[in-house]
Structures are given as structure tokens and as C-alpha cells.
Amino acid sequence: MKVKNSHYRTIWPDPADNTIIKIIDQRLLPHRFVIEELKTVEDFCRAIRDMHVRGAGLIGATAGFAMYSASLFAPQANANSYFQEAAQKLLATRPTAKNLAWAVERQLSAICDEEHREKRIEKLFKSACEIADEDASYCQKIGEFGCELIAAISKRKGGEQVNILTHCNAGWLAFVDYGSATAPIYAAHHAGIKTHVYVDETRPWLQGARLTAWELKEEGVPHTLIADNTGGHLMQHGMVDMVIVGTDRTTFTGDVANKIGTYLKALAAKDNNIPFYVALPSSTFDWDIEDGVKQIPIEERSGNEVNYVTGLTSDNKIETVLVPPENTKSLNFSFDVTPARLITALITERGVVAPNRQEILRMYPEKSKSLYNILMK
């Protein structure tokens, strides 16, 4: 998508030297636009763990390139154990994100029979690029399907502005391009449908205020920033037509792990009869577990993310400030799980699907066999 009217993806190999992978350091947005170079597996792990990159699809794409990077450093002897170790390091960075495990496994299986170093490098590079391209093209499809939902509301409102609430950043910055939750919004905006977005600021990391607001601004989509507390009031007063969020892991039964606070918005949407959509490429599905609330591991991050806020001072410096009294103990869960009963539908690259086992498996029939095995265990 656009940054100062130039097109960017969130991750790309340096055209001059494709052993170098480039990313946007998202910690510094919206006040600084800094491109960072990643080389070693450690670079990639740090970038994921410390949230230089974040978001379901981008974590997956970054993990794909990380495994390619591992192949550049893998010793000829014991290459397999080197790859396994790299995989474990990557998996440990963000436990909730499904796409991370999915991309690492895809890369491992791409080289499972490959003995030649150069061939491995070539295969992993190709496959990493495919993961990134597929992510972008899946998001584009999500945009097309989701746009139809927005168009229908616009039509019902006689062409009046459609007000969409979103939480966190499931924008192009969270993927390789387009985004999941934002893809329908961008598609609708570009199709000339009057669209306006209420952006939850999304404490503690403020992905909404820092990233979603920036994306929408760069792309020219009208938007209004709100505190996470505000959405319920807006819904009570008819100011929200639909909610679209992303997800970091979705069970095949339709439970959705997404940024902490998503569950509260889903409750409010239900209470006010407002459609609540979750947009995701199928790489985000977890085909192994049935009960999201009980079974999805929820990452706990440092309480410092709650206690400190970073922003721009009046003299244009990036500064971090402490809000509560010093040494206040904080608890920082990154995600919560929204039960399927609160979700209107999922928007995937194959279409819009009801959040239940039957419909999801009907849409992804190739998964039914492996599921059958699991359920029979």
C-alpha cells in the first residue's frame, strides 16, 4: 500500500543483494519511517519478539524469510539440527500467532529431502517469496469478498457513509500487503463507497493509534481515533454499522484469538445487533483444537508495555513516559478469545463463512481428513 504515495510491502528481499531482507521497523511508526535490514536468524527473532514486525500475516512471512536466512548460515554437517534449532527459536518468539508455526513448518517441509546447500537456499528463498506473495494475494481476495458486505450496507443506507469499527492493526502493516480487516475497507474506498473507520487505539501497544491511523491516513481513508473504551457507547447510539477485526489464530470451530479487547467489542456488537466480522487468510486457522477459550495459549508480555507510553514530544523527539506510580505491577495479556457465538461470519480468501465447524470444513474440504484423524484420537 501507499507510504507518501510510493508503493511498499512490509517485507522484501533487497533487490541488489537478496541475502538481506528489509522490513519497516514498526516500533517507530507513525513518527519515523525507518527501514531495517535483517540477516541472521537472531535478527529475525528479535524483530518478531520485540515487535519491529507484528501481525498475523507479516509474522508468518518474516518466519518464512528467517528460515531462508538460516539456510545461508547452516553448516554442511548437521544442517537439519541447525534448521530445527532455528525453528524452535522462531516458534518461541510469539506463542499465540498461528501463522508463525504454519510458515516455519512450510519451510521445513520444503527442504525435508534436500541435501544440497545451494538447492536448499534456492528452495527456501522461492518458498519464502511464495509465502509473502500468497499472503498478499489472499488479502486481496479477502478485500473483494469483504467489500461486498460493505457495499450491501452502503446500499441499505442509500449511499450514506458506512461506519466500520476496527480493533488493533489488521492492516497491510500486519500482513505483506492490503491487510485482512482493512482489505475490505481499502477495496470499498477505492470502489468509491463512502467509508469511515473508527480506529480503536488498542492499548497497551497502541497499534490502532500508531499503525492503523497512519495506514488509513497514507491511503486517504476517512477515520476517527477512539479510546478502546468508546466503542460500546458508539454502538449503543447507532454510530457503528459493522465491526471488522483480524485474528492471530482461529479454531476450525470458529473461535477467534485476536488482540486483547476484541472480545469486549464482540459482546457490545452482539448486544446492539451490529454485525461482527473477522477477516483472515486460511493460514491463520488452527485445525487442531476445538475450544479457543480453553485451548489457545495466550501470550503474556512485559507489564512495561502497560506502564510506559512512547510518543513524540513537542520538540519532535521520541520519548517514553511512565504513567502509573513507579514500580506498579501490571499484567499484560496480548490476546483474548472471542467465542464463535459472538461472530457474524469469517471473511477468508475463499469467501464469507459462518463461524462453525460444518461451514468452515465445507469451505476447506481438504482439511476434513486430517481433522477426522484428530477427532478420532
Give the sign of the dihedral formed by CA 320, CA 325, CA 330, CA 336.
negative
Q: Of these, 12, 68, 83, 214, which contacts its own copies (CB under 8 A)?
A: 214
Q: Is 196 exposed, middle or buried (0-12, 13-18, 19+ CB in 10 A)?
A: middle
Q: Write the binding mask 295 to 314 for its own copies: x where contact by CB under 8 A, - elsewhere.
A: ---x----x--xxxxxxxxx
Q: Of these, 72, 79, 151, 293, which contacts its own copies (CB under 8 A)?
A: 293
Q: Per CB under 8 A, does 227 bind its own copies?
A: yes
Q: Of these, 28, 91, 226, 371, which contacts its own copies (CB under 8 A)?
A: 226
3-state secondary structure of 170: coil
Count how many residues are written for the chain.
377
Q: Write the binding mask 16 to 55 for its own copies: x where contact by CB under 8 A, - elsewhere.
A: --------------xx------------------------
Are 332 and 301 spatial neighbours (Cβ–Cβ below 8 Å)? Answer: yes
Of the candidate spans 114-122, 172-180, 283-291, 320-328, the one that interacts with its own copies by CB under 8 A turns out to be: 320-328
Are 261 and 202 spatial neighbours (Cβ–Cβ below 8 Å)? Answer: yes
Q: Which of 228, 241, 248, 255 is catalytic?
A: 248
Nearer Cβ to its own copies (204/355): 204
How far out from the chain centre does Cα 159 lie?
30
Q: Per CB under 8 A, does 322 bind its own copies?
A: yes
Q: How far, CA to CA in Å, does 135 sit from each of 35, 83, 128, 198, 280?
A: 21, 23, 11, 25, 10
Asked about 248 being catalytic, the answer comes back as yes
Sequential DSSP letters for 253-280: TS-EEEETTHHHHHHHHHHTT--EEEE-
List residues binding its own copies (CB under 8 A): 30-31, 198, 201-204, 206, 209-210, 213-214, 217, 223-234, 236, 259-261, 263-265, 267-268, 271, 293, 298, 303, 306-314, 319-326, 328-333, 335-337
Query: Which residues are catalytic, by number?
Result: 248
